Amino acid sequence: MTDLIKTNTILLSQGKLKNRTNQLVDPQNFEIITSYSFDNTKFTKLLNYSNQNELRESAKKYFLVNINHAYIETVTGLVFDESKIYHFNSAPPKKRRRKFKGTYEVKKINAPIVSLITSQSFLFQHFCFETLPQLALLETWFKDNPKVYYLLPKIPALMDIVKLYGILDSARIIWAEYGCIYESDNVLIGTWSNDGYRIVQGGCTNILKNFFLDDDGLPADSPLRNEVLYLTRADMACRRVTNEQDLLQMVTAELKDGYNLVVFNATGKVVDDKKKFSKARAIIGPHGGAFVNMIYMPEGTDVIEFNNYSFGPGIETRPCYWAAASFLGLGYSIVRPVKPIQEYHKGQMEVPVDNLGTRKKISIPILHSKI
């Protein structure tokens, strides 16, 4: 590996990056290395719910293309060369998330490299929904091309899940450092780049579960499946529930006999978290990354999420975990905060405890009479 990667520096000013052209990757104008598709009705159903028309057709078929001598920026997931920034849909990539200015460390990879870095792939939930399903679909191609390496985000939980399920040849994984820029004469990029995950997520969950995950065989109504997990964000900077103690008291009082409420804090260890969620009867809490663990839950279990209904003005639905739960066969309910969250990654929320179980938009079968 020491001979494979060489480190140097690159001067990358903000102005220089702005001057690059946004290059739409059209399969008619690029060499397609391999192609694959989500050819199932559930995926098509999700596309019909989408408001992002420009992605509906392109998301039905995926492909890898080769970019000669390009750079991969790990914070934004951008792939660019000396003159262009590459993306796969009509909306240009979100290159303004990071101010590119100054001198950056660049790691030159002396081999073909598949970039599996997206704009938020260093977050566990994005990695699971964006990257793991693509690895499943490309599994055969990876095996048939042993000289190709893969660039994956270096996060302990991600390294754990890749190792746990034996997804890739570990000798061919390059764990990307957050903030670093990688360079290769052959950068292979796929159509899942540039924030496509909100479209593909629901269909991906089934692929994810079928390829990588198993459950403990307990049916959803088994008396041994008796824990209700509350996914707290008490120590988080955003989306904390300000009246959490009142909420916990209410849920505990209203649980049917035999159920126990357990406050869940992520351990960062995939095996431990999997055991917890695979035996849960329901999960409940404010929107956050912990909800991705629903992939370990069997059909018929329940998801209760505290969240706004939409992304913002003019956008009708927020598919996110609703889509994931729907396509996994889980019951899903949404509870709106007393006041909508205006600053999504900053705001806190108050949950309407008094009428939680009587709101018309939700159904909570684990509770007693308040339905």
Instruction: Note whether 191 and 284 are same-domain residues.
Output: no
Instruction: Note whether 249 and 193 are same-domain residues.
Output: no
Distance CA 75, CA 231 (A): 27
Instruction: Note whether 156 and 10 are same-domain residues.
Output: yes
pLDDT at 121: 79
Q: Which domain holds residue 185?
A: 5-202
DSSP labels, 320-339: HHHHHHHHHT-EEEEE--SS
What is the torsional sign of CA 163, 168, 171, 172? Answer: negative
pLDDT at 231: 96
Burial of 64 (C-beta count, 10 Å sphere; 0-12/13-18/19+): buried
pLDDT at 110: 93
What is the torsional sign of CA 231, 234, 238, 241? Answer: positive
* 371 residues of the chain, pLDDT tens digit each: 657 877 776 655 544 556 677 777 766 677 777 776 654 443 443 334 343 444 444 445 667 888 889 998 887 778 888 888 877 655 555 544 555 555 667 899 999 999 888 777 788 877 777 777 777 667 778 888 999 999 998 988 788 877 776 767 888 999 998 888 899 999 988 765 444 444 445 456 656 666 655 656 677 778 888 899 999 999 888 889 999 999 999 888 878 888 899 999 887 778 788 888 888 999 999 988 899 888 888 888 889 888 876 545 544 455 678 777 877 778 888 888 888 776 666 788 898 886 565 443 334 444 433 32
Burial of 57 (C-beta count, 10 Å sphere; 0-12/13-18/19+): exposed
Domain-embedded: residue 220: no
> Both tokens of residue 59?
């998301």
Instruction: Note whether 160 and 284 are same-domain residues.
Output: no
Structural domains of the chain, count: 2
pLDDT at 108: 92
Instruction: Write the pLDDT tens digit of every residue in 205-251.
Output: 656 666 655 656 677 778 888 899 999 999 888 889 999 999 999 88
Domain-embedded: residue 213: no
Instruction: Note whether 175 and 29 are same-domain residues.
Output: yes
pLDDT at 158: 80
Instruction: Write the pLDDT tens digit of every residue in 30-64.
Output: 777 777 665 444 344 333 434 344 444 444 566 78
Instruction: Note whether 12 and 161 are same-domain residues.
Output: yes
Instruction: Note whether 86 and 190 are same-domain residues.
Output: yes
pLDDT at 285: 94
Domain-embedded: residue 219: no
What is the torsional sign of CA 126, 132, 134, 135? Answer: positive
In the chain, which ranges are continuous DSSP H helix? 14-18, 41-49, 53-56, 124-126, 132-137, 139-144, 156-164, 197-212, 244-254, 270-278, 320-328
Instruction: Write the pLDDT tens digit of every residue in 158-180.
Output: 888 777 767 678 889 999 988 88
Of 165, 181, 157, 306, which Cα lies nearest the Cα of 233?
306
Q: Given strand 227-231, what is the order of strands in its sheet? A: 260-264, 227-231, 280-286, 302-306, 331-335
Instruction: Note whether 262 and 123 are same-domain residues.
Output: no
> Both tokens of residue 283?
């999960």
- Give the other-Cβ count within 10 Å of 115's Cβ: 27
Backbone angles phi, psi at 61, to 5 degrees: -135, 135
Instruction: Note whether 162 and 231 are same-domain residues.
Output: no
Instruction: Note whether 59 and 186 are same-domain residues.
Output: yes
